[in-house]
Structures are given as C-alpha cells and as structure tokens.
Chain A
C-alpha cells in the first residue's frame, strides 16, 4: 500500500468508524423516492388477473365487458403478451440435470399456482383497472394439483410439465470419506428429521415497477424496486428484443429486498411489455395479497439426517437427505436449485469430520415458486448440524459449548477445505466461541437455568455455529451461463470545489451500501466524507456490475471504490506535484487538501487545484493533462467465495402450559473481516437475526391440500414485531480476507443463518428434562404443546 500506510493508518481514515449514513436523512424526513413515488406524465396502471386455483387449463377468457369499463386502456392475455415478451427457462449450466419448463410473463395455456398472473388490465387508475378485472370471466378447467412435496415424485403423481416426465427438477449427491465405516464404528449415532416451513421476505415496500417506453427516444426507462439493475437491463433487452442500450433501469430507494427483489417476476416483465405495446408509461405495484402469492417463497425443506460420534464426542460422519419443493417453475435466471445446493455445501461446514454424505432433491409442485431469500440454505444447513450436535451432546453427557469447541476446525488450520470441498481462507470458530461465551456469561446463565429449573421455570440456552457464503465470484452464476455480473466498478470524479462524486455499481436497499462506499472513497481520496456524493442504482450512470446480493456490496463494491479512490489520489497528486514543483511521493491528500506527506503541512487546497485544472488549464506546465475521473473494477479471484463464520446464542423461557416462548436474550459474534462501519453492520446482523427468529418461530406460508394459500395478509402471516423480540448483543472477530486490500467480507446473511438453530436448540434445551423436543419450524406454541403431549 502506498506510503507504507494501511487504510487504518491514514490520517483521515473513515474505515471502521461508526459514521451515520449520509443518505439516511431523506428517509427520516419522508423524502425518499420509492417507485410508487415517481411521477411521470400519461402514467397508466396495470392490475393482474391471477389464478384462484393451484392448477388449471385456461379454456377461455371473456374480456369484452372489461374492455368497455371506464378508464380501461387495454386488456391483454397471455398469447397477446407473448408476441412481445419471449418466455424463459430457469436453468443454469453448472447445475447438471436441472430442468424447468418455459415460463411466460402471463400464463398462456395453464395456470400453475394460486397467484400466477394470466391476464392484465391497463387503465388510467389502479382502482379502474381492478374494477375491470372483476368483469373478466375466466373459464378454468381444473387439473390435478401437486401440493405435497413428499408425494411429488410418487409414480402416481402426474407431472406438472408433462414434457419433463416427472416432477424432479434437480438432484445432487455427494459422498466424501468412509461414511458407512464411520457410522458402523461409531459409539453413538443420533438421527432427526427436520422441517423448515415455507416463508417469504415480506419487504415492507411491495415489489414495484414503472416502465416508460419513449418510442421517439428509443428508450425504455424502468424504475424498479430491485437489487440488480444491470441484470434486469440485460434480461429486458433479451426478452423484449431491444438493444441493451435501449433499456435503462433505475433503482432509487428500495424498501427492503432480502433477495426477494433480485428475481425475474412474470408481472414485472409483463408491465414492461405493456409499456412497449401501449407506447406509454405503465406502473405495477403489488398489493399485500399479491406479495404473498407472487413474491418468491423460500425454504420448504424436509431434511432427514444422522450424525456419528466417538465416545469422546468427536463428530465422525454426517449423512443427510434433503427434499425441497420449489413451485411449478425454477425461477429465472438464478434458478430454484441453489438453496438445496447450498444446504449440501454448507451442512456441517464448521466442523472437522472427514466423512459426509448428502442427497438433495428439488421437486416441482403447484405452489408459489421458491428462490433465493436471505441466507439461502444457511439456516437449514446450520439447524441440521447444530440440532444433531446437541442431540449427541445430550446423549454423551457433554456440554453444548464443549462439544462445539472440541469439533470446530481450529483457527490455526487455515487455509483448508471444508468436508463438502468448499475452500476456506481464514475462519475463527474458536475465537468467536470464546468471545461469545464470555459475552453472554455462559456459565452464569447455566447456573441460573439450573436454579430456576428447581422452581419449575423452564429456561433453555441454545448455541449455533455457522459459516456464511459472501463475496461470490463468477462461480456463483456466471460459470453456469447466467448473465449476472460478478465484477463491479466504481467511477470517481473530482469536481472543481474539491468534492468527489462516486458512481458505484453495487446498490443500496438500506443496508448502508452508499455510506460504506462514501467512507472508503473519502479514505482513499483524502476528501472529507461530507464532500463525497455516491450515485448508485442506474444503468446509465454507474459502471457495469452485479448489484447487491449474497453479501457482496461492501466486500466487492468496497474494493472497487478503494482501488478507484487510490488511483484518483495518485492522479490528483501528480498534477499537484507538477504545479508545486514537488515530487509526487512527497505529497498526500488529507481532509481535502494537498499536504506535505511528512509534515502534514497544507500546500494547496483541492478547490484551488480544481480551479486550475478545470478553469485555467492554460497555466498548467506543458504536457500535464489532469485525469480527474478514474474507474476501477474488482472481482474476487483467489477463492470462489469469501466464507465467513460466526456463532449465536439464544436464551429462552418456555411456558409449558401455553407453549409460548419468551426470548430473553440473543448474542452473536461474527467475523466479516474488516468492519467498515460497526454501527451499520451490527444493526444489519440484528435485522438478520430477527428475520431468522421469524422463520423459526412465526412465519409460515400455509397451503391447504388443494394448494390454496391460507394466509395472504399480514394479519394472518405472522412476522416478528418489536414486542416479541429481545435485545441482541453483537460483537466481532476480524479475519480480513487477503483477496482484497480492504479485507472486507460480507455480513448480510450471518444473522439469518444462525438464529433459527440457536433458538430451536434453546427451546429443546428447555424441553429436554421433560422428554420433549421439536424439530419442525416454525416452532409454534401448538408445536411445543404437541411435543409435550399436552394436545
């Protein structure tokens, strides 16, 4: 690093400081710009007719009455829309054998889940569009619905897509080491079947898109509540047969995403196609029922697994079988096989056993499609290993903390490979566990638990060690043929007054992307943080990149910003050196001024340099051409993913009369490498934990045996609210990645990855003396009372 300084040593380093987000003020004053806030002339509104049944043939659609309704501009069915928008198939080349069927923006022949759109009404207002929907008569001929994933592969179950022959979309098997031998020779084998209910993201801002086709300009401008604008641009161009340059995607404020807003949705593609067809702007904003029936769902896994132990408590082998239902189509373009694949990659990943067998089967069913939602696969993988580990510890008479400390891959063993073959650069399980146990005062909690038990109070403590996939390289999607950028870029421009504008291709959905990019840019360039303006979320205004997902914003976008900032500093310093007749290496930029690097004495302000460079370049020495715009890109190359690790603990009290669980405390120690902004990362981890607790205790997309969604409102689908949630203590261990100079890894999945296992283990710890245990999420009061035999 230049001058022998690391970024932490730089005199004006903002890295690692708890800086409030510069862009948060507009949100606090209600002055953000979400898609539904964008005003354009001649805006039309679309509402979609959605399937009321899980599977049916569309025999006829009678739309004449709807077309004649007040305010209606167009009624468009699947075949008409298909003439403008080409269908897609959600498969990837590196998922060998993954199959799906062509999916249309509006269903053409059949509807395949409750909520699938199959006709659109465009009107001058949304109420008028909805009024007209009610006037459409659809003749739907019922088809057999495949609802239960457990029977989806039975020979008697009809295939949802006859051309596929059966309902198996994908299968993966992995076997490492002598699994049979390990189980044969084990002192103890424990087995459990774990259930993971379907849940969904419940972003507070529903999915929203506004597509504006300006035929005269040849430009489709799309305002989108979305995480990956360049991916959307590429896909819109491909499926609407437009040149890439004719599509501009803008993602301003996004009201929560969590992976929900990174997929291709039929209704959103249809909205863009309708804008082309009608040659005017068209807006779609999902209402809450539409969100529940058409946002991607996630999880819905059943895992049967067993773990072999030595008498001393060493894990010898892990064997697991995962079955997951993904709905009628694999979602485009990331596919719906990734969660199961990650369960195979991650299960048991923190531990040093050498034998592992896994099978994952991904089946089609007539429910809402599932795809990647925050912490894809992680909470499942973590629950399986951590649940089995607690079962083993109890049978062997070992403390749950002790058995984890005994089995984790030691901190001095890295770099190494995990049992599934994942490459691990540097993890810190031992340090994280030690820090967590001290932070929560584990021994005192155990003593309190024992004392209260004698009074009939049933408390439990649960631990959860996890690993997390972050900073994905092209290995995630690109190698499989998906046109999803793995690299990101940052362009920084020095303006005449000495401020900079940084355009970055990673995106902001509230996690603080723009804030950490500003911190990195300020540190790298020497410009005060208050004079850094960050631009993101616009395909015409930023370098090309992947956006924000899979915990890549800080680690990948941050490194691109760092490299761009360093390069700009070098360019600026060189011009200053020419003016000041000094050697460039004797100068630095600090707090907006060119200074003598050794003494810190100001030689010239950036504003003065900007004045000369932009307005009086005639006074510059001959041959000096200022280049005050710099772009740099970054993609991780050393490792396919930057794995991180962490450990969580949960303390609960179970009311054995009612089955209610009270969350008393929650702790997390995680290692995301360099912490760019503790204030932001800590609350992001807390938010992730709360999402994990929601999935573990409350959230469940309930379907009946006909494939009808039973809880399509926020009154019926329970999400974690402030009253039920505990205070959450967060701390860090720092193992920076050597793959980049800033050393940051991701942190977005960590909370959700580990929280379910921690709380479910805590509940089982409370129930253990009563001879009961739970293994099916969400763990509702009813589940607990059933386990206790009370109902």
Chain B
C-alpha cells in the first residue's frame, strides 16, 4: 500500500488537514479531496499554466508541487480568490473584453495576472505578454487578455490616484 502523509495547510482561508499519498500532486489533491474543480489540469508537466494557484502568495503550478509540500502553507485557488473579491476587477475586465472562450485557461490566467499587477502597477503590453507567457490559451489570440489586464492596471491606477 502506498505511504500516506499527514498534511495541514490553509486553503482559501480555512485550515484543512488530510492524508494524501506521497505521489499525489497538489492539483489532484485540491480537485479530488476538496472539490476545487476550478483548478484545471492541462498538461501535468508544468508547461501550460492552467493549474496555476497561489501558494504563500506566489503563483505556483499545482501540478508540479506534491501535495505533501503544501504542509504549513497558505493555498488559494480561483474559488477562494473569487470569494474574497481579490480578482473581481480582473474577472469583470475579462468578461467585458471577452478575454476568455472555453475558460479552461482562465483561472490560471487570472492568478498569473493578479500576481503581475501586485508586483507591477503599470505594466506595458510587452510586459503583460511576457508575464502571461507561461499560460497557454488556445482559444483567444491573447490580444483580448492583454487588453483586459491593461485595463485593470489603468483602473487600479485611476482609483488609487483619485483616492490620494
């Protein structure tokens, strides 16, 4: 029988504990154990970016991290980010700009975009393209995604400027 390990971490604001098998990757655990089906597995080789989540605030490929490595971390998925409104303006902009089609890349794309905008308030189109350069989208031409992220950056800058 496979060895299992006790793991405890904070998941979308809740403290959770479970006993995944040693070989289970974090993406599989989040989907199977916690029903977080917004974590989309596209390649399971760390290439496509669909399964990107936040681990301790950093965009992370959940398919490249073993579940046991989550022990003691703070994990956030699209479900949690949505609930606390952390990506609400990005979601609105993606919607208005039609920056998604099938929606399979979208949770990972939003997490990556959120990390970019947290680090760089006013990225240009080239910088946005570079930042999402590890997130594969087969449906859009990326153009609308770049538009949406740029619009959010402008919107946040305007809000902060207006509030100062």
Contact = CB atoms under 8 A, between A and B. Distances in A.
Interface of A: 20-21, 24-34, 36-37, 39, 70, 127, 201-206, 253-258, 287-288, 509-512, 679-680, 683-691, 713-715, 719, 721-723, 725, 727-728, 751
B48 interface: yes
B37 interface: yes
Contact of B125 (A27, A727, A751): A727
B47 A21 contact: no
Given A679-B98, A713-B47, A255 B103 contact: yes
A255 B100 CA distance: 11
23 contacts: A21-B98, A24-B94, A24-B100, A25-B91, A28-B110, A30-B37, A34-B40, A127-B23, A204-B42, A204-B136, A206-B42, A254-B102, A255-B102, A683-B99, A683-B144, A685-B141, A689-B141, A690-B142, A713-B47, A722-B128, A722-B145, A723-B129, A723-B133
Nearest to A668: B141
A204 B38 contact: no
Given A204-B137, A728-B141, A683 B82 contact: no
Contacts of A258: 138
A27 B143 contact: no
B40 A204 contact: yes
Interface in B91-138: 91, 94-107, 110, 125, 128-130, 132-138
B19 to A, nearest CB: 15
Which of A255, A509, A727 is most buried by chain B, counting CB atoms within 10 A of its CB? A255
B67 interface: no
Contacts of A255: 40, 102-104
Contact of A28 (B103, B128, B134, B146): B103
Contacts, number: 177
A465 to B, nearest CB: 20
Given A28-B95, A714-B136, A204 B50 contact: yes
A685 B144 CA distance: 12
Interface string B24-49: 00000001000111111111110110
Contact of A288 (B43, B100, B134): B43
A512 B98 CA distance: 9
B164 interface: no
Contacts of B31: 36
B38 A31 contact: yes
B79 interface: yes
Contacts of B77: 30
B78 interface: yes
A256 B138 contact: yes
Nearest to A29: B82
A660 to B, nearest CB: 16
A29 B78 contact: yes
Given A690-B141, A714-B48, A722 B104 contact: no
A186 B94 CA distance: 54
Which of B99, B100, B125, B145 is most buried by chain A, counting CB atoms within 10 A of its CB? B100
A30 B100 CA distance: 12
Contacts of A30: 36-40, 77-79, 82, 106-107
Nearest to B50: A204
A253 B103 contact: yes
Interface string B51-87: 0000000000000000000000000011100100000
Contact of B134 (A202, A721, A727): A721
Which of A201, A680, A722 is most buried by chain B, counting CB atoms within 10 A of its CB? A722
Interface string B134-161: 1111111111111000000000000000
Given A204-B104, A205-B40, A20 B98 contact: yes
A554 B22 CA distance: 48
A204 B138 contact: yes
A519 to B, nearest CB: 13
Nearest to A257: B102
A19 to B, nearest CB: 10
A205 B42 contact: yes
Given A27-B100, A715-B45, A204 B142 contact: no
B37 A37 contact: yes
A206 to B, nearest CB: 8
A26 B136 CA distance: 20
A71 to B, nearest CB: 11
Nearest to B47: A714
Contacts of A509: 101-102
Given A28-B106, A725-B129, A20 B95 contact: yes
Which of A26, A253, A509, A690 is most buried by chain B, counting CB atoms within 10 A of its CB? A690
Nearest to B147: A727
A722 B45 contact: no
A515 B132 CA distance: 27
Interface string B1-39: 100000000000000000001010000000100011111
Contact of A722 (B35, B41, B79, B135): B135
Contacts of A20: 95-96, 98
Which of B50, B132, B134, B139 is most buried by chain A, counting CB atoms within 10 A of its CB? B139
A686 B102 contact: no
Contacts of B42: 204-206, 288, 714
B104 A34 contact: yes
A296 to B, nearest CB: 15
List of 4 A-B pairs having minimum Cβ-Cβ separation, nearest first? A30-B38, A27-B103, A686-B141, A510-B102
A728 B82 contact: no
B53 to A, nearest CB: 10
Given A683-B98, A686-B140, A727-B125, A510 B103 contact: yes
B103 A32 contact: yes
A691 B140 CA distance: 9
B79 A683 contact: no
A40 to B, nearest CB: 14
Contact of B102 (A205, A685, A690): A205
A510 B100 contact: yes
